[in-house]
Copies of this chain bind each other. A is one copy, B any other.
Amino acid sequence: MTPLIDGLQYANWSEKIFRQMRAGGVDAVHVTITYHETFRETVQVIERWNRWFELFPDLIFQGRTAADVSRARDTGRTAIFFGSQNPSCIEDDIGLVEVLHTLGLRFMQLTYNNQSLLASGCYEDTDSGLTRMGRAVVSEMNRVGMVVDMSHSAERSTLEAIEHSTRPITISHANLHSWHPALRNKSDTLLRALGQSGGFLGLSVYPHHLKGGSACTLQDWCDMVARALDLVGPRQVGIGTDLCQDQPDSIVEWMRTGRWTKTVDYGEGSADAPGFPPMPAWFHDNRDFGSLRAGLKAAGLDLAAIDGVMGGNWHRFFEISFGPAEMPQTLSRRAVG
């Protein structure tokens, strides 16, 4: 049986949520551990996770390889894979890529909305593409086995990341701009390029990414899934819910403004609705993946496609993504010398 994998969550973690993941049969989740945090602050979050792993060994454990997804399934637990939504955690220091990979970081976004040291975010007026450090860091991420995630990046930067990366990249949580023209959703051009490069798209159920917002119907969403499979590739699409369960609104403020501005930035929200939007009726928490599966069936997807979207596709992507790059030893010295 294929595993159930969610390609992005940032919940206010608790035993309750860990138990809901078990109730929902979720075998693995890519969890965001850091946005604008420095390296040291990111390590403090890892310490908190280490405590949760120690306290709840019957519910969760840290995922490091694709095999951990199967281990989770076999032992009735959820494997937690770490990711970052911004490169603040590596500061200005490329050596931290390997250090954080050793600590379990398996995904890193090159930007979160704004310009970073590596690339341009999707909210910038000017998209200047990958920076010098951006190219160097993508190569280092390729070497150690950390996935380049461009969910919050601008289009040219994303196309350049696809071009420069020697391993497939991901957009772990976004939808089709042609379905719902939100700033964070991605153009068909970009998604075709992603697919042709072997890259991966995780589809979001975060209301700002949905046609009709919180009122979006499950059928509408599932029709979009079918279009995404055509655009990107039948084995290159999965789910990345962007579930932010139980978070106070102060957290969405942190996501949007970090420490980079003294004024309010509403991001995908507005002055009238600055907080987290209400979730759609058909997806509230980790117990609701069954309704997504039922919706995909009702939309006419065949069983293989449904299994792929629900986790099989992410699992294959994990298999090719988390290990060190294969590089002839004779090359390795020259390449870094």
Compute how far the CA of A54 lies from the CA of B96 in the bound complex, rounded to whole angstroms.
14
A40 within 8 Å of B (CB atoms): yes
Compute how far the CA of A56 lies from the CA of B329 in the bound complex, rounded to whole angstroms.
10
Which residues on B sit within 8 Å (CB–CB) of A96? Answer: 43, 47
A99 within 8 Å of B (CB atoms): yes
CB distance from A157 to the nearest CB of B (A): 26
Type the 1/0 row for A94-115, where 1 means its CB is closer than 8 Å to any CB of B.
Answer: 0110110011100000000000
- Is there contact, CB below 8 Å, between A93 and B47? yes
A166 within 8 Å of B (CB atoms): no
Type the 1/0 row for A46-59, where 1 means its CB is closer than 8 Å to any CB of B.
Answer: 11101100111110
Whether A55 contacts B333 in the complex (CB less than 8 A), given A40-B39, A93-B47, comes out as yes
A263 within 8 Å of B (CB atoms): no
Which residues on B sit within 8 Å (CB–CB) of A104? Answer: 102
Stoichiometry, copies per complex: 2
Which residues on B sit within 8 Å (CB–CB) of A58? Answer: 329
Whether A43 contacts B39 in the complex (CB less than 8 A), given A55-B336, A57-B332, comes out as yes
A291 within 8 Å of B (CB atoms): no
CB distance from A287 to the nearest CB of B (A): 24
Compute how far the CA of A54 lies from the CA of B95 in the bound complex, rounded to whole angstroms.
12
Which residues on B sit within 8 Å (CB–CB) of A51? Answer: 95, 336
- Is there contact, CB below 8 Å, between B95 and A99? no
Whether A47 contacts B332 in the complex (CB less than 8 A), given A40-B39, A40-B40, comes out as no
Query: Which of A46, A58, A95, A333 has most B Cβ within 10 Å?
Result: A95
Type the 1/0 row for A299-334, where 1 means its CB is closer than 8 Å to any CB of B.
Answer: 000000000000000000000000000000100110
* Interface residues of A, Cβ cutoff 8 Å to B: 39-40, 43-44, 46-48, 50-51, 54-58, 93, 95-96, 98-99, 102-104, 329, 332-333, 336-337
